[in-house]
Structure 1
Amino acid sequence: MTLSELQAKIKSASDKMRADDNTKNALKYLEQLTWLLFLKVFDSVEEERQTFAQIDGTTYRPLFREKYRWGNWARSRDLTGDKLITFVSDDLLPYLRGLSGSPRAERIAAIFAEIRTVMKSGYSLKEVVAIVDSINFHAMDNHHAMSVIYESLLAQTADAGWSGEFYTPRPVVESMVRIIDPKLGESVYDPCCGSAGFLVSSATHVKPLVKTKEQAATFNSASFYGQESGEIAALVGTMNLILHGVEDPQIVRRNTLEQDARNISPNEQVSIILTNPPFGGTENPQVQQNFPSRSAATELLFLQHCMAKLRDNGRAAIVLPDGILYRAETAFSTVRRRLLNEFNVTAIVRLPTGVFPTAADTRTNLIFFSKGGRTERVKYYQVPSPLGKRSYSKTNPLTADTLAGVEAWLQDGIADEYAWEVDYDTIVERGYDLDIPWPGAGEISDASAAGERIESLRAQLATLLELTDALSASHGDLDSYPLSPAVELAGWVVETGRRAGSQVPDRFVGVSNEGGLTPFKGAPAKDTSRYRELRPGDFVFNPMRVNVGSIALCRREEEAGWVSPDYTVFRLSGDAPFDPEYLLMFLKSEQGRVEIDRESRGAVRRRLYMDGVRKIKMPIPGDRESWAALISSFTSVRRHLRELPTVSFGALSSFEAAVLDPRDSVDTPGR
């Protein structure tokens, strides 16, 4: 049976149920259709187990008594009309609610304890049962198909509580599971599990490792955990795991975000997190109080929940929208800093548009991280758009082959043209902005890439607009950026920059008026003994030109070196109540230049000495995190403005090529 044939049968059954007085509501008919499908598939699984037992010369005893197995009551010609309704309501459902004696039996009993929906017309119910009975679920692929169908149906049913949630394509799910590589004995968790696609794929990945009864007990009851707020989704997820051999899946129906992420104990933490949280939604202020960084954005709250739930040496893979990478609001910036400094972000896979059919224009990423140590280097991968098209779609979906390069890069370190790496210092220099575009995009000039280049331009413009909107909102809410009265820098600045002496400097550094560090282009003096050493974390300025912006902050090892003996080098003390970036911003501001002029000395050529630096008065930020986020947003906007011309001219050139010579768009080498 093909997927389209199965979809047609599901639609036919749904249409009949919508016409019944008891199941007109979407939640009602979806509930009944779900448990009918479950009983049908469960019976198919039981038949398979009996067949395999006979082949092995053993005996398998089905869980249900013969009277209540699908094949007996669903195919009975005597059970129709009122008799069928009476049997289902007064006999079958009470029996299922009373199952006991094993974890599997008790889990099924718990499922049916919540089931109350039965169609009013026994004749219509008989027709629906016949449709379900005609579906052949013996093939495991059809078990997966049931999950796919339900996720796609529910995703289109806003009144069923699934608005804002996107079905995760199976190639993406399975690739994420292979990269994370769950092992037997590790706890796998999805905080918004839906129909349990990630958990089912993880169970399929782990199941071949089960060899003993003890291992089977761990697999069945202590490996797969999920939370889901939707009633139907939680029901489907539990059933789906049972159908895939997990006898006692630990799925809890609850709003995950109502759990206090600030107080999760070690025994509540898990080994592995795999999830695609709902994004684009909002949460109320009461729920936001459960998180270290408050935000209405559900995607940011779910990311914080995952960070709190991951145990030491645990691994996580999460689907998240582009905004997580660059949004400049305090909460987003703070969470990115925590993620990079308290976790090891190992990889970011950038997906093109159209991967999620129900949200075709949403740009998403797969973010992989582990708990233990700071981020050192991040592997990036740009999944290419389909050949000759702007994006993927329902008729042209993403395939497993498309993700082969991702797995080769993240698992084996085998890079292709879509792979690159970015080190931690570069990310810090960018203001913790993780929205790093594929560097190879600028190298593609043929007409076949026009669509992809123009799409990149659209994304860049949208990002810039979102960042400037955030700055505008910050300007309209200056109370969120409190400042204490101005005080002297005094003991918070310490002069550094030891002299070279007998050491021969290996790299000379200059300072531009724009405040950047650059390799010194002139010839150094013959006597280099008085040159000053510049290390990461140091400030350096030209004492006679600091009032026009000739001051810089050394942020990374690659910028370090030796500066002119006439320059001044200093750094902040460890107890300074502000960040180096904040001090740099102030010293380069108009107010900062006024202070520099006031403290400079000299009748002919005024210069700023270290004593003058200590006397500079500066307002102290009342909230370091909010100011750090604001400064990061300035950095991001400047960077996007610098990059935009390159992207836009490249996109326009590709488009011109496509118009002038459309034949070039037929083939693209290496794609």
Structure 2
Amino acid sequence: MSRQSDHITQKLWSYCQVLRDDGLSYQDYLEQLTFLLFLKMADERETLTGEEQAIPEGYRWSDLASAQLEGVELELHYRHTLEKLGREGGMLGLIFEKAQSKIQDPAKLRRLIVDLIGAEDWSSMSADVKGDAYEGLLERNAQDVKGGAGQYFTPRPVIDAIIECIRPQLGEVVMDPACGTGGFLLAAHEFLKGLNPDRDQKRHLRYEALRGVELVPNVSRLCGMNLYLHGIGPDAAGDHDPPIETDDALRDEPSSHAEVVITNPPFGKKSSITVVNEAGESDKQTITYNRPDFWTTTSNKQLNFVQHVKSLLAIHGRAAVVVPDNVLFEGGAGETVRRNLLKECDVHTLLRLPTGIFYAQGVKANVLFFDRKPGAKDPWTKQLWVYDLRTNKHFTLKTRRMTRADLDEFVECYHPENRQDREPTWSEDTPDGRWRSYTYDDLLARDKVSLDLFWLRDESLEDSANLPEPQVLAQEIADDLRAALEEIEGILADLGT
């Protein structure tokens, strides 16, 4: 992040502490900033280009920032503005759908408009500066364990390593069916910009190359704004559809396909909805998706997302999916999905991620890489290469954060230039090597076709001198307990308790 974008992030974030005294969460504050930033930049763009903005007269930044509006009158006008713009289409609809004012103090709203948003000349900043500043706010929001959006935020070092392995190309469509705040799509955009696109390719990159779906409207608007600030998607007055759609990606078969699918589906095994009966009692009901393109019907949403990603891919398309451990070893539907995935796709790489790297804690995750292939008699998977970045690795979000350098060996072993030239680092003579392969027959011979593969000696189990620092060890224990509790809650939900 540049010094200018870091300064803006610090300035905007500092006022959040004032609003928290009024009961606003980080998420609420970030939403209000999103609404006001969009209005301000639409106003600046009209001044800069002379083109009339799509925001209706009477509901523009100049109306909101008018010196005549004070107190209750300002608060009321702001509410009416959000309601009006929420009924519009395009980018306006994406950003303002179901928008509500959460700022109860008109004086603080006025200060937010005049002293913070209004004091900056946003049109003079590059897309990188504006985008980096906003992404900095999103990451700070994710760090708030209680009320933040950690479950929608994938660590940037992991994203960058995945993109470097997948290597999207100009002209391809990159899709994220659980896009959260847009980390994967932005990293793909940055990678594609570095390939020196020509004029037509730049246009495709802005309007057509990136597509995302997000279930939660509040997160969808943050993603839309994040992309918009990086110069992705149409202006409010554009003829193109927004790059983000607010929907349940699992509901229907995909209407189009993508050459690249990269995603980190939401944590938690079960998809459920809360139902309130006539007596006012609430109950959670498990959701299953009966889709003809799925190999099996299950309430496990991670298994559903793996099946959905396969359906989203064009033939010879490439995918990288972050999945929890249960996807690798769970029986029943899990075994059915793994058998079919190995047969119909080339499942070529598995990255075992370390614990302590996600803001949403208690997660043991992996990245599964596979390519979709045309129908064939023989299975497409010949060899699965596994990189173990978990055993004897200890990271925390505070004292030992993962960096991109921690994934350098994995990317080198992945050999994105030519996967046929891979060489293992593990052998009988080098038992500490983290990179080895398993044949299709090896995998099929395992109980339930489990892909939960590990071979390294866990030093902490053999020698107390090799134990990590107490705070790291305590965090790992807490993560294990959270994961176990989630499993138990899933069982209780199935039992109707």
Structure 2 residue 389 is the aligned partner of structure 1 residue 383:
yes
Measured in 2, the distance between the counterparts of 1:278 and 1:2 equals 33
Find the counterpart in structure 1 of residue 450 from structure 2.
433
- Quote the offset at 1:80 in angstroms: 3.9
Q: Is the 1:351–1:364 contact (alpha carbons within 8 Å) kept by the matching residues of 2?
A: yes
Change (3 A) 1:43 1:205: farther
Amino acid at match of 1:320: V
| Count of equivalent residues | 434
Structure 2 residue 108 is the aligned partner of structure 1 residue 124:
yes
Amino acid at match of 2:388: Q
SS in 1 for 2:386: strand
Q: Which sections of structure 1, spanning at least 5 residues, go unmatched?
A: 51-59, 100-105, 478-671
Measured in 2, the distance between the counterparts of 1:445 and 1:2 equals 49
- Quote the offset at 1:33 in angstroms: 2.8
Counting only pairs closer than 5 Å after superposition, residues 186-197 of structure 1 correspond to structure 2 as 186-197=172-183
- Quote the offset at 1:250 in angstroms: 2.4
Structure 2 residue 258 is the aligned partner of structure 1 residue 270:
yes
Q: Is the 2:35–2:95 contact (alpha carbons within 8 Å) kept by the matching residues of 1?
A: no
- Quote the offset at 1:230 in angstroms: 0.6
Q: Is the 1:340–1:374 contact (alpha carbons within 8 Å) kept by the matching residues of 2?
A: yes
Amino acid at match of 2:263: T
Change (3 A) 1:107 1:385: same
Measured in 2, the distance between the counterparts of 1:4 and 1:208 equals 23
Identity %: 26
Measured in 2, the distance between the counterparts of 1:366 and 1:425 equals 22
Amino acid at match of 1:368: F
Change (3 A) 1:292 1:5: same
Measured in 2, the distance between the counterparts of 1:116 and 1:152 equals 22
Counting only pairs closer than 5 Å after superposition, residues 636-655 of structure 1 correspond to structure 2 as none
Measured in 1, the distance between the counterparts of 2:132 and 2:19 equals 23
Find the counterpart in structure 2 of residue 143 from structure 1.
131
Measured in 2, the distance between the counterparts of 1:167 and 1:322 equals 19
Q: Is the 1:41–1:243 contact (alpha carbons within 8 Å) kept by the matching residues of 2?
A: no
Amino acid at match of 2:266: P
Counting only pairs closer than 5 Å after superposition, residues 163-182 of structure 1 correspond to structure 2 as 165-182=151-168
Measured in 1, the distance between the counterparts of 2:85 and 2:329 equals 54
Measured in 2, the distance between the counterparts of 1:134 and 1:448 equals 56
Structure 2 residue 166 is the aligned partner of structure 1 residue 183:
no
Change (3 A) 1:62 1:116: farther
Query: How high is the TM-score relative to the length of structure 2?
Result: 0.72
- Quote the offset at 1:440 in angstroms: 6.7
SS in 2 for 1:349: strand
Measured in 2, the distance between the counterparts of 1:279 and 1:212 equals 39
Change (3 A) 1:187 1:236: same
Measured in 1, the distance between the counterparts of 2:214 and 2:103 equals 26
- Structure 2 residue corresponding to 1:407, chosen from 379, 400, 411: 411
Q: Is the 2:30–2:137 contact (alpha carbons within 8 Å) kept by the matching residues of 1?
A: no
Measured in 1, the distance between the counterparts of 2:67 and 2:383 equals 66
Amino acid at match of 1:357: Y
1:409-461 Cα offsets, whole Å, 9 max, x none, are: 11253665322222211111213111111447689988775449x98xx99xx
Measured in 1, the distance between the counterparts of 2:58 and 2:436 equals 58
1:599-647 Cα offsets, whole Å, 9 max, x none, are: xxxxxxxxxxxxxxxxxxxxxxxxxxxxxxxxxxxxxxxxxxxxxxxxx
1:358-384 Cα offsets, whole Å, 9 max, x none, are: 31x422111110011611111211226
Counting only pairs closer than 5 Å after superposition, residues 32-431 of structure 1 correspond to structure 2 as 32-39=32-39, 60-61=49-50, 64=53, 79-82=69-72, 84-85=74-75, 88=78, 106-108=90-92, 111-112=95-96, 114-117=98-101, 119-129=103-113, 130-133=115-118, 138=125, 140=128, 143-150=131-138, 153=141, 156=144, 165-209=151-195, 211-248=197-234, 249-259=242-252, 264=253, 267-284=255-272, 285-290=286-291, 291-327=294-330, 329-359=331-361, 361-372=362-373, 374-383=380-389, 390-410=394-414, 411-412=416-417, 413=422, 416=425, 417-431=433-447
1:503-541 Cα offsets, whole Å, 9 max, x none, are: xxxxxxxxxxxxxxxxxxxxxxxxxxxxxxxxxxxxxxx
- Quote the offset at 1:235 in angstroms: 0.6
Measured in 2, the distance between the counterparts of 1:121 and 1:447 equals 56
Q: Is the 1:85–1:118 contact (alpha carbons within 8 Å) kept by the matching residues of 2?
A: no
Amino acid at match of 1:427: L
Change (3 A) 1:353 1:396: same
Q: Is the 1:68–1:92 contact (alpha carbons within 8 Å) kept by the matching residues of 2?
A: no
Q: Is the 1:43–1:69 contact (alpha carbons within 8 Å) kept by the matching residues of 2?
A: no
Q: Is the 1:204–1:244 contact (alpha carbons within 8 Å) kept by the matching residues of 2?
A: no
Q: Which sections of structure 2, spanning at least 5 residues, go unmatched?
A: 235-241, 273-285, 374-378, 426-432
Amino acid at match of 2:382: E
Query: How high is the TM-score relative to the length of structure 1?
Result: 0.55
Measured in 1, the distance between the counterparts of 2:20 and 2:315 equals 49
Measured in 2, the distance between the counterparts of 1:312 and 1:38 equals 38
Amino acid at match of 1:404: D
Amino acid at match of 2:440: Y
Amino acid at match of 1:131: L
- Quote the offset at 1:14 in angstroms: 3.8
Q: Is the 2:288–2:298 contact (alpha carbons within 8 Å) kept by the matching residues of 1?
A: no
Measured in 2, the distance between the counterparts of 1:63 and 1:270 equals 34
